[in-house]
Structure 1
């Protein structure tokens, strides 16, 4: 992750959470030195080990040690990080740090499961821009940590012509001609197709990538035969962890899965200072 963007984002989130100060901690011995541990409560893949050191550097007076690296598969009850510092820093930074690490670890874990379900090394699993506003930096890093690939980070990451663009231009062929006439040689062009005729038009004009939108695996496999190997194929639309196995062997170069980042189940991680007792029931 870009360390400058990362620092700015974590600072923004800390400001939001702290407000005018931590009222819960201010009347307690906040200068006391404590040691705390981040502990996973369910099996999964760890992601977000860059978050605690940035948060504690911003708050001051605490040192974090990662006990496992991002991308490590862990089991319930395992300690993944240790921090030593003042009570004020540890308690104030707890929620923001946990929120991000839990979400990122959940995305990484889901991505790994999705790739496992696909079981096809010839097809890359990618994310989309369907991320929560403000969290794209973290979400996309988590997808990579889980073994997936990043699609565009933003609208400058390449040209992708979808249904509304095609309607505006007057058709697939017209949209491609207009765009390719203006673009330089280093900017790839992807276009969405929903019919066989649109596919043939996209091939004729010379798209770099063609997205087969909302097509079943059999159709993807059939249409792939109509496309030169020099043109990449993306299967997209309604593909999830539960359905991706049907696309094994379909011939696509990659498949985009929006719900990697827009339907997230955070990995359960807790933070406990030494001596604290957490009830298990």
Structure 2
């Protein structure tokens, strides 16, 4: 089971999304059509198979508008579910539930979509040593939630931001005048807890990087044959991460080259939303 994110970190996102939807006057449809004291019982149900993530977002969206609402979670983040599965049941003020509906479903569907796509990649490399990781290609403001969804799908998290690891990319290399010089500068600046990764775009750069003993070397857009050669050259001295040209059709062959990690931007930038609805019970 994936450890949950504290509500304290989720609430600002949920409240900002609710504020965007409620606008300047609140839900004028609910105010016009629903009696102020009306009650509603409804269920969050999935319309297609997938992996759940983000149930806390739905719970907090309802709670923000009706703190007395009863929200019963019937599944867990990370669960595989089939069409018709009921994820949660809610009972409370009808206006509040209907006003929170779209925000709850937007976040729950988005995060479940990320978890579902991640699980597809994880399943595709099953039996190899490779692990599937995300990237920083996330929706602005939702990074911590989308990376949580990746974990719910069985994936690993790459950097959360620019401040938690040194990742030397091709433009850094160009600005420094070479892979070796970039790594020398990084090693001189890094604290004892700071990991260093360098991106290389060919076997020559890989050979240049290895003597500097970075923690991770990213093999960017390597051919399948060059991935195999890179694994042999590294000989287990460094974690090798494959990146670029990764999709569900190619990921298995990439994994079978022997790399340790495969990073996939599509997990967060191209995951389709999982179809989830709120149905009156």
Please give the residue correspondences for 1:239-250 in structure 2 after superposition, counting only pairs within 5 Å. 239-250=246-257
Verify the 8 A CA contact 1:56 1:63 in the aligned structure 2: no
1:53 correspondence with 2:64: no
Structure 1 residue 228: deviation in Å?
Answer: 4.2
Other structure's SS at 2:234 match: coil
Structure 1 residue 120: deviation in Å?
Answer: 3.4
**2:147 aligned to 115, 121, 140, which one?**
140
Please give the residue correspondences for 1:190-205 in structure 2 after superposition, counting only pairs within 5 Å. 190-205=197-212
Structure 1 residue 230: deviation in Å?
Answer: 3.2
1:26 maps to what in 2?
31
Name which of structure 1's ranges 35-44 and 119-128 shifts more when overlaid on structure 2: 119-128
Verify the 8 A CA contact 1:127 1:150 in the aligned structure 2: yes
1:232 correspondence with 2:236: no
Gaps of 5+ in 2: none
User: Please, what TM-score do these two structures have when normalized by structure 2?
Assistant: 0.94
Structure 1 residue 87: deviation in Å?
Answer: 0.7
1:279 maps to what in 2?
none
1:4 correspondence with 2:8: yes
**2:277 aligned to 255, 259, 270, which one?**
270
**1:124 aligned to 131, 134, 147, which one?**
131
Other structure's SS at 2:28 match: coil
Distance, in Å, in 2 between the alignment partners of 1:120 and 1:192 is: 26
Verify the 8 A CA contact 2:7 2:56 in the aligned structure 1: no
Distance, in Å, in 1 between the alignment partners of 2:87 and 2:8 is: 25
1:102 maps to what in 2?
109
Structure 1 residue 82: deviation in Å?
Answer: 0.2
**1:161 aligned to 162, 165, 168, which one?**
168
Verify the 8 A CA contact 2:50 2:274 in the aligned structure 1: yes
Distance, in Å, in 2 between the alignment partners of 1:156 and 1:112 is: 28
Other structure's SS at 1:190 match: strand
Distance, in Å, in 2 between the alignment partners of 1:121 and 1:95 is: 40
The count of corresponding residues between Structure 1 and Structure 2 is: 274
